[in-house]
Amino acid sequence: MKPVNVGMLGIGTVGSGVVNILERNADVISRRAGREIRVSHASARHPERPRSCRLEGIALTQDPFAVVDDPEVEVVVELIGGCEPARELILRAMANGKHVVTANKALIAQHGNEIFARACEAGVTVAFEAAVAGGIPIIKAVREALTGNRVEWLAGIINGTANYILTEMFYEGREFGEVLAEAQRLGYAEADPSFDVEGIDAAHKLTILASIAFGIPLQYDKVHVEGIDHITRADVAWAEELGFRIKHLGLAFHEEDGYALRVHPTLLPRRHMLSNVDGVMNAVMVNGDAVGPTLYYGAGAGAEPTASAVVADMIDVVREFNLEPENRVPYLAFHTHSLSEGPVLAMRDVETAYYLRLSARDEPGVLAEVTRVLGDFGISIEAIIQKQPEAGAEHVPIILLTHRVRERQMDAAIERLEQLDKTTGRVVRIRVESLE
Amino acid sequence: MKPVNVGMLGIGTVGSGVVNILERNADVISRRAGREIRVSHASARHPERPRSCRLEGIALTQDPFAVVDDPEVEVVVELIGGCEPARELILRAMANGKHVVTANKALIAQHGNEIFARACEAGVTVAFEAAVAGGIPIIKAVREALTGNRVEWLAGIINGTANYILTEMFYEGREFGEVLAEAQRLGYAEADPSFDVEGIDAAHKLTILASIAFGIPLQYDKVHVEGIDHITRADVAWAEELGFRIKHLGLAFHEEDGYALRVHPTLLPRRHMLSNVDGVMNAVMVNGDAVGPTLYYGAGAGAEPTASAVVADMIDVVREFNLEPENRVPYLAFHTHSLSEGPVLAMRDVETAYYLRLSARDEPGVLAEVTRVLGDFGISIEAIIQKQPEAGAEHVPIILLTHRVRERQMDAAIERLEQLDKTTGRVVRIRVESLE
């Protein structure tokens, strides 16, 4: 049989990785797919620049739309990123009857509902394993392996930059800003790191994971997002003293009254599997009602790890060429007409536990006031630490761990605590999860 | 469409789990499979006994062959275990044109080559996710997700009983025999625990994993197998002092000159992800040439975890009903005519590193003799510990960590060490891996 012609949009880090894998592992790939797969066409803004892959046999162009419209191209691989022109390119590819493989988390999170609906109409596949957690086959695990389960919750370390920074802060006892600067020097963080350290990237991925897991439409705008830029070395040390690690997690829970979707720093028990995921590695824990907790760990970014997921999708698409569309694996693990309709809960209605750090005058009665405020708002305390003040200091830090309570109660309690005479400054709040 | 009729052989722990999941999650399962799936027929040795699932609507019989021959049954789920009559039942089901789902690791490991060949001839699917690592979708991950990769090695904690025992020995400082007895009382180990503690069960699973990963025929008889029954509390403590944990691993390496397949206790660095897998949980790490190291963790046994994998296979089989056989995912990730032919290496030709513990007279010059013997056999030493003897003791333990060397060299060196005047008893050897 003749090879499958793939048109690749973008020949950057991941694109080069795809070409290299297809070349190096051509024999096993064609045995597994049943046909040879080759990148026949590719677009790049600067086609003349040197790449970290060979470009022999690839028809190069500056115009991605030319690739998408070329009748010889059977599968389009979109590796440009961002929403435009990627969205337009993908929609046009599908309208042209071509299957699509993408690594574009921002696009799927924000426009996936439209893209999947148009793919259904066109009878083509859109595959996006590389959009979440790089090389870890998490989309396939949730969508095709945990199919006998209802997913009760999932939790993921899904941004390698943030995890690298928190790992360094923990092991080296350093401050956020210092580690960020070093991460940028080492290439683990972008010049503009906001997507990573403010949680936007993780929120894109969490949106996609939650939709696959729960069978709900993609609702990126409803995800509660917090980054790691306010985490201090002191909080990392206090968390350790209390038996926890601080990790930046994407969390999705199926509650009685709806779905909780949130991205924020989280205290996790030290012995939890996710607590031991260090550096730039990613991991997603998925709890199914039948299987219980399962964890998937691997490289969340990088040329060949991400390309590994792209190529796996390409092979799946090729295997499914001869299938009737209704026999293919549905995009969100559910046919689009049978998605769930429960609401995504507002953060204030979500119940969770908290680590609080506040600064108070070193006087008798402070602790009593603080605990009474918490009690007034129905907040039970699991642990308190109050150390001796530093020499000459007028204020001492008070650290508390609370039991679970609804966020709106904690919001109100914190407001009240900040108004007390004896306290100073803001109350630091980091949510706590046991994830068992 | 009418429901798919499944004939289940065996209504034990896993069988009851399958029925319960199909009932509890019927809505999501039929949405995902595209059709309702029901157990219509089932066989059990004592059909009248009460079960932990409802049996309404299931035609019960004592004769498993009747189920396999019944023209109304479309898919056969074999949950009897063992090689006979399971093998005969599965072959007959396939000859009758029925697809088969099984959890039977012993059967697939020892007779899988024949079963897959006959399935090819009959044009039916044999699915066996539940045969390895319970609910963890490891077969699917290797076979369908890492398809762009060559697998360089894999390593797994794939027997929950052995891992439970080693975990307890580590955290509680207890001896093997004592923990085994407790494990039996708690139901984590069988009355006859040899399959688990001697490594047979792990070897069955490792055989299957290696074949999927490397595209080689199943070769159970070539796996080097050691259990955990010779591990002492002392070795666990020494390993910890050296910065390691002792885990019972199934290991498969693609070496230059062939494949190394082995099951044995292994010293792993304390910070390795596998070192933190505790209790009855399982985990498999797979290193692909493109994606790098990936880890899959979850419950390796139990009614609903194992049944979760069986049901996922059932859904896959139903989804693939309308496919031509050559469009389905090949059993070993390769079509049977294109399997690799490299040899499985004999253990003596395998290279690895070692922990050695020997007992020697508390005299000057002992260490020099020991290290000279190792040097004579080309064995480099990474670390040595020799403590003060206990009060009144004539012998002291000497602990060594060596660099990598071929097992035949270590065999010869150990034989020589045991012959020395100054040493007494056997030399304890536990292999060491860094798995990075």
Q: CA-CA distance, B28 to B33, in Å (whole number)?
A: 9
Mean pLDDT of B22-34: 93
Mean pLDDT, rounded, of chain B: 94
Inter-chain CB proximity A290 and B34 less than 8 Å: no
Retrieve residue A301's tokens. Answer: 């970014």
Q: Look-up: residue for tokens 């007992």?
A: B359
Q: CA-CA distance, B279 to B196, in Å (whole number)?
A: 14
Residue B339: band (very low, low, confident or very high) from pLDDT cuts 50, 70, 90: confident
For the cut 70, the answer to whether the pLDDT of residue B297 exceeds it is yes
pLDDT tens per residue across span B182-225 = 999 998 898 899 999 999 999 999 999 999 999 999 999 999 99
pLDDT given at position A208: 97
pLDDT given at position A25: 97
A126: distance to nearest CA of chain B, Å? 16
pLDDT tens per residue across span B231-281 = 999 999 999 999 999 999 999 999 999 999 999 999 999 999 999 999 999
Inter-chain CB proximity A149 and B31 less than 8 Å: no
Retrieve residue B248's tokens. Answer: 């019972």
Active-site annotation holds for A205 = yes
For the cut 90, the answer to whether the pLDDT of residue B61 exceeds it is yes
Contact residues for A26 (Cβ-Cβ < 8 A; gap 6+): A36
Q: CA-CA distance, B272 to A315, in Å (whole number)?
A: 32
Share above pLDDT 90 across residues of chain B, in percent, rounded to a whole number:
88
Higher model confidence: residue B331 or residue A10? A10
| Residue in A with minimal Cα distance to B297 | A295
Best of B27, B282, B294 to substitute, by most chain A Cβ atoms within 10 angstroms, is B294
Q: Which of A91, A291, A164 is nearest to B134 (CA)?
A: A291
Please identify which of the residues A98, A105, A140, A205 carries the catalytic annotation: A205
Mean pLDDT of A373-398: 92
Please identify which of the residues B98, B105, B140, B205 carries the catalytic annotation: B205
Helix, strand, or coil (residue B282)? strand
For the cut 60, the answer to whether the pLDDT of residue A325 exceeds it is yes
**Nearest Cβ partner of B295 from A298, A310, A335?**
A298
φ and ψ of A342, to 5 deg: -65, 155
DSSP secondary structure letter of residue B298: E
Q: Look-up: residue for tokens 């115009």?
A: A63
Inter-chain CB proximity A295 and B292 less than 8 Å: no
If you compute the radius of gyration of chain A from its CA atoms, what whole number of angstroms results?
A: 24
Q: Which residues of B touch A304 (CB under 8 A)?
A: 289-292
Higher model confidence: residue A311 or residue B34? A311
Integer CA distances (angstroms), B367 to B110, B235, B370, B422, in order: 46, 19, 5, 10
Retrieve residue A407's tokens. Answer: 């966020």
The vertex-A43 CA angle with A40 and A46, nearest 5°, equals: 130
Number of other residues whose CB lies within 10 A of the CB of residue A333: 22
DSSP secondary structure letter of residue B141: I
Q: Identity (one letter) of the amino acid at B38?
A: R
Helix, strand, or coil (residue A368)? helix
Mean pLDDT of B144-149: 95
Q: CA-CA distance, A166 to A164, in Å (whole number)?
A: 6
Higher model confidence: residue B151 or residue B332? B151
Exposure class string for B43-73: b at 16+ Cβ within 10 A, else e = bbeeeeeebebebeebbebeebeebbebeeb
Mean pLDDT of B120-139: 95
pLDDT tens per residue across span A83-103 = 999 999 999 999 999 999 999
Q: CA-CA distance, A103 to A116, in Å (whole number)?
A: 15
DSSP secondary structure letter of residue B27: H
Residue A339: band (very low, low, confident or very high) from pLDDT cuts 50, 70, 90: confident
Retrieve residue B112's tokens. Answer: 């899988």
Q: Identity (one letter) of the amino acid at B202?
A: A
The vertex-A192 CA angle with A283 and A173, nearest 5°, equals: 60
Beta bridge partners of A246: A267
Inter-chain CB proximity B289 and A24 less than 8 Å: yes
Q: Identity (one letter) of the amino acid at B288?
A: G
Q: Give this complex's ipTM.
A: 0.94
Helix, strand, or coil (residue B426)? strand
**Nearest Cβ partner of B307 from A21, A290, A312?**
A290
Q: How many CB pairs under 8 A join A and B?
A: 215
For the cut 80, the answer to whether the pLDDT of residue B334 exceeds it is no
pLDDT given at position B390: 80
Q: Which of A24, A94, A115 is nearest to A308 (CA)?
A: A24
**Nearest Cβ partner of A334 from B31, B309, B323?**
B31
Contact residues for A162 (Cβ-Cβ < 8 A; gap 6+): A196, A197, A199, A202, A227, A228, A248
Mean pLDDT of A368-380: 96
Residue A324: band (very low, low, confident or very high) from pLDDT cuts 50, 70, 90: low
Contact residues for A216 (Cβ-Cβ < 8 A; gap 6+): A210, A259, A332, A339, A340, A341, A342, A344
Inter-chain CB proximity B276 and A277 less than 8 Å: no
Inter-chain CB proximity B28 and A145 less than 8 Å: no
Contact A209, A333 (CB under 8 A): no
pLDDT tens per residue across span A44-76 = 999 889 899 999 999 999 999 999 999 999 999
**Complete edge-to-edge strand list for the sheet that includes strand B126-127:** B59-61, B37-43, B4-9, B75-78, B99-102, B126-127
Q: Identity (one letter) of the amino acid at B136?
A: I
**Nearest Cβ partner of B298 from A29, A293, A316?**
A293
Mean pLDDT, rounded, of chain A: 94
Contact A92, A9 (CB under 8 A): no
Residue B331: band (very low, low, confident or very high) from pLDDT cuts 50, 70, 90: low
Inter-chain CB proximity B294 and A293 less than 8 Å: no
For the cut 70, the answer to whether the pLDDT of residue A331 exceeds it is no
Contact A80, A15 (CB under 8 A): no
What is the residue-wise DSSP string for B44-96? -SSTTS--SS--TT-EEES-HHHHHH-TT--EEEE-S-SSTTHHHHHHHHHHT
Inter-chain CB proximity B273 and A271 less than 8 Å: no
**Nearest Cβ partner of B322 from A290, A299, A327?**
A327
Q: Which residues of B touch A272 (CB under 8 A)?
A: none
| Residue in A with minimal Cα distance to B215 | A28
Q: Which residues of B touch A144 (CB under 8 A)?
A: 137, 140, 144, 312, 316
3-state helix, strand, coil in chain A (%, to 5): 40, 25, 35
For the cut 70, the answer to whether the pLDDT of residue B430 exceeds it is yes
Inter-chain CB proximity B32 and A327 less than 8 Å: no
Inter-chain CB proximity B140 and A140 less than 8 Å: yes
For the cut 90, the answer to whether the pLDDT of residue A382 exceeds it is yes
pLDDT given at position B330: 63
| Residue in B with minimal Cα distance to A270 | B276
B323: distance to nearest CA of chain A, Å? 7
Q: CA-CA distance, B25 to B316, in Å (whole number)?
A: 16
For the cut 70, the answer to whether the pLDDT of residue A330 exceeds it is no
Retrieve residue A422's tokens. Answer: 């004896």
Mean pLDDT of A209-226: 96
Chain-centroid distance, C-alpha A338 = 25
Q: Identity (one letter) of the amino acid at B398?
A: I
| Residue in A with minimal Cα distance to B319 | A327
Share above pLDDT 70 across residues of chain A, in percent, rounded to a whole number:
96
**A334: part of which helix (H) or strand (E)?**
none
Retrieve residue B31's tokens. Answer: 């949405």
The vertex-A180 CA angle with A178 and A184, nearest 5°, equals: 120
Contact residues for B315 (Cβ-Cβ < 8 A; gap 6+): A147, A148, B29, B32, B33, B37
